[in-house]
Chains A and B, each alone.
Chain A
Amino acid sequence: MTTQPRIRIPKFAKKGEVIQIRTLMSHVMESGQRKDASGKVIPRNIINRFSCSFNGRPVLACQIEPAIAANPYFEFSARVEESGTFQFTWAADDGSVISASEKIVVR
């Protein structure tokens, strides 16, 4: 059960400025440790990898483990030297990949 990710980055920045990036992804993050009412283990289903790139160059990538709570939230910073596009991807255990992008103008 996922919805569109929510991303907050500034629309404009100065050359060389360090900007804050905040992302929130709705996801159940089923740990694989819980059991259902009949005692069966509920299969693991988490977002296992989150990555961010800028104009094709990696900014951040991380592997996510089952201890991360539902609806993973990432906040990080990046230095921007040029206008371009941030690309974000969330990859889940069930094989689904959610992508989003945000543009920034350096002036």
Chain B
Amino acid sequence: MTDLTRRKFTGLASASLAAAATPLFAPAVLGQAKAKPKLVVLGGGPGGATVARYVNREAAGAIEVTMIEPIRQFTTCFFSNIYVGGYRSLQSITHSYDKVRKEGVRIVAERASAIDRDKKQVMVGKQVIPYDRLVIAPGIDLKWDSVPGYSEAASQTMPHAWKPGAQTQLLVKRLNALNDGALIVMIAPPNPYRCPPGPYERVSMFAHVLKAKGHRKSKIVVLDPKPNFSKQALFVEGWQKHYPGMVEWQDPKVHGGIKGVNPKTNEVMTDLANYKAQLVNVIPAQTAGQIALKADLADKSGFCPIDPANMRSKMDANIYVVGDACIPGEMPKSAFSANSQAKVAAMMIRGELAGAKTFPARYSNTCWSLIETDDNVKIGGAYEAQDGIIKASSTFVSKPGEPADIRKQNYRESIDWYNGIVADMFG
């Protein structure tokens, strides 16, 4: 991948424009009468693919939609824990963009290298893709150095599996190879991060696999930089109920600070103790995808501020940011949230580019987590723009000690949701 800063890229692009390409670009510059407005979507996850499909379908040809996504077979991060637990195959959470392409979305299956905000164009290798409106949905990138000793190379022995695909497969392979008495150590991420209950659902799935194999001597130690976490009471109750004595969650007061990891020896060091583990799962701190940072769309937090009324970037009126890369106020970073934000952005973009009627933004989210077979808990809410952020107007969360049939119903609901969102994304 070419590593250009925006400034350098602008220089390069103008040079080549001046040298050779003037005639090629002339029609766009002059504003051809029949030229359709162009929407470019960067990223084909739950945010990006939803925007691309909704705008393409509902604008009925009035807007030209291009989606840039290097991955051809997209494995969803949501439900990847269900794969870790052995309930689903990797294939069942992997999808192609064939239908999206057939519907008329132009798909550029390469990685975008830079965004030139002044010229309103995206650079994909040597290709220049102009836009009238750009949607950024690059998801997250990992801050490798947030855990001392960790690195991209280390993720081959200590998988993060916080981006779907090969990493998740590696984690599952390592998990399934463990013997009874094995120690698993998870380093949980600091806020804000993708999928707040995700690490704890993953711990539950680890425990489920160990229990199913009869590994009574195995242990899972969770080292958390946070003093508390999403649906904590529900997870702690579930761990005690289904996996007594197996899960040991340590808050920062207990472990006293995560000093680092040694990927060569599979050791994890904290102020309280050192652990020699058979499987270490490091989930580092996170930022918006690098491309958003390079285009100066993020603030100091590493994520992209947006206008809560429409998902438009606060840094650039021609750009929308949806999904994990944005600062979603009180919404969590989840696929459900991204999909919900994408529908708002799609509506606003059609309003801007095709004169479609728009309505006040309404958002919603639900995060389901599986603790053990048929024991699924959920949390969620409805949201709207208020006080300059996306704010919850109502929320709900599962209760401790609920009857089993409610939990089972939650699980069925989560499967229905999965089928619905992948239909929204991939057709």
Name A residues whose Cβ lies closer than 8 Å to a Cβ of B.
1, 3, 6, 8, 22, 24, 26-28, 30, 34, 69-71, 73, 75
The answer to the question of B273 belonging to the interface, with a C-beta cut-off of 8 Å to chain A, is yes
Instruction: Evaluate whether A28 and B273 lie within 8 angstroms (CB atoms) in the complex, with A8-B256, A34-B240, A73-B254 already known.
Output: no
Name B residues whose Cβ lies closer than 8 Å to a Cβ of A.
216-217, 219, 236, 239-241, 244-246, 248-250, 253-254, 256, 271-273
What are 22 pairs between A and B in contact, CB < 8 Å? Answer: A1-B216, A1-B217, A6-B272, A8-B256, A8-B272, A8-B273, A22-B256, A22-B272, A24-B250, A26-B219, A26-B245, A27-B245, A28-B240, A28-B244, A30-B244, A34-B240, A34-B241, A70-B239, A70-B244, A71-B248, A71-B250, A73-B254
For B236, what are the chain A residues with a Cβ–Cβ distance below 8 Å? 69
User: In whole angstroms, what is the CA distance A27 to B272 when docked?
Assistant: 17
For A30, what are the chain B residues with a Cβ–Cβ distance below 8 Å? 244
For B240, what are the chain A residues with a Cβ–Cβ distance below 8 Å? 28, 34, 70
For B216, what are the chain A residues with a Cβ–Cβ distance below 8 Å? 1
Nearest chain A CB to B65's CB is how many angstroms away? 52
Which of B217, B239, B241, B272 is within 8 Å of A24, CB to CB?
A: B272
Name A27's closest neighbour in chain B (CB-CB). B245
User: In whole angstroms, what is the CA distance A73 to B254 when docked?
Assistant: 7
User: In whole angstroms, what is the CA distance A6 to B250 when docked?
Assistant: 12
For A26, what are the chain B residues with a Cβ–Cβ distance below 8 Å? 219, 245, 248
For B246, what are the chain A residues with a Cβ–Cβ distance below 8 Å? 1
Nearest chain B CB to A55's CB is how many angstroms away? 24
User: In whole angstroms, what is the CA distance A71 to B272 when docked?
Assistant: 14
| Residue pair A24, B244 in contact (C-beta under 8 Å) | no
Which of B248, B250, B271 is within 8 Å of A8, CB to CB?
A: B271
| Residue pair A28, B245 in contact (C-beta under 8 Å) | yes
Name B255's closest neighbour in chain A (CB-CB). A24
Q: Which 9 A-B pairs have the closest CB atoms?
A: A1-B245, A28-B245, A6-B273, A28-B244, A71-B248, A73-B254, A8-B272, A6-B272, A26-B248
User: In whole angstroms, what is the CA distance A6 to B273 when docked?
Assistant: 6
Q: Given known contacts A28-B244, A28-B245, what 13 new A-B pairs fall within 8 Å (CB)? A: A1-B246, A8-B256, A24-B272, A26-B219, A26-B245, A26-B248, A34-B240, A70-B244, A70-B245, A71-B248, A71-B249, A73-B253, A73-B254
| Residue pair B256, A1 in contact (C-beta under 8 Å) | no
Nearest chain A CB to B194's CB is how many angstroms away? 27
Name A35's closest neighbour in chain B (CB-CB). B241
For B249, what are the chain A residues with a Cβ–Cβ distance below 8 Å? 71
Nearest chain B CB to A43's CB is how many angstroms away? 12
Name A23's closest neighbour in chain B (CB-CB). B272
Name B240's closest neighbour in chain A (CB-CB). A70
Nearest chain A CB to B252's CB is how many angstroms away? 12
Nearest chain A CB to B34's CB is how many angstroms away? 68
For A71, what are the chain B residues with a Cβ–Cβ distance below 8 Å? 248-250
Name A36's closest neighbour in chain B (CB-CB). B241
Nearest chain B CB to A48's CB is how many angstroms away? 16
User: In whole angstroms, what is the CA distance A3 to B216 when docked?
Assistant: 12
| Residue pair A24, B254 in contact (C-beta under 8 Å) | yes
For B254, what are the chain A residues with a Cβ–Cβ distance below 8 Å? 22, 24, 73
Nearest chain B CB to A38's CB is how many angstroms away? 13
User: In whole angstroms, what is the CA distance A22 to B254 when docked?
Assistant: 8
| Residue pair B248, A75 in contact (C-beta under 8 Å) | no
User: In whole angstroms, what is the CA distance A1 to B210 when docked?
Assistant: 15
| Residue pair B219, A3 in contact (C-beta under 8 Å) | yes
User: In whole angstroms, what is the CA distance A52 to B379 when docked?
Assistant: 42
User: In whole angstroms, what is the CA distance A24 to B254 when docked?
Assistant: 8
- Which residue, B240, B245, B246, has most C-beta atoms of chain A within 10 A? B245
Nearest chain A CB to B246's CB is how many angstroms away? 8
Which of B244, B250, B272, B273 is within 8 Å of A1, CB to CB?
A: B244
User: In whole angstroms, what is the CA distance A67 to B291 when docked?
Assistant: 49
User: In whole angstroms, what is the CA distance A28 to B219 when docked?
Assistant: 12
For B253, what are the chain A residues with a Cβ–Cβ distance below 8 Å? 73, 75
User: In whole angstroms, what is the CA distance A75 to B271 when docked?
Assistant: 13
Instruction: Evaluate whether A70 and B248 lie within 8 angstroms (CB atoms) in the complex, with A1-B216, A34-B241 already known.
Output: yes
For A8, what are the chain B residues with a Cβ–Cβ distance below 8 Å? 256, 271-273
User: In whole angstroms, what is the CA distance A75 to B241 when docked?
Assistant: 27
Name A26's closest neighbour in chain B (CB-CB). B248
Nearest chain B CB to A93's CB is how many angstroms away? 14
User: In whole angstroms, what is the CA distance A70 to B272 when docked?
Assistant: 17
Instruction: Evaluate whether A24 and B273 lie within 8 angstroms (CB atoms) in the complex, with A8-B256, A69-B236, A70-B248 already known.
Output: yes
User: In whole angstroms, what is the CA distance A82 to B230 when docked?
Assistant: 46
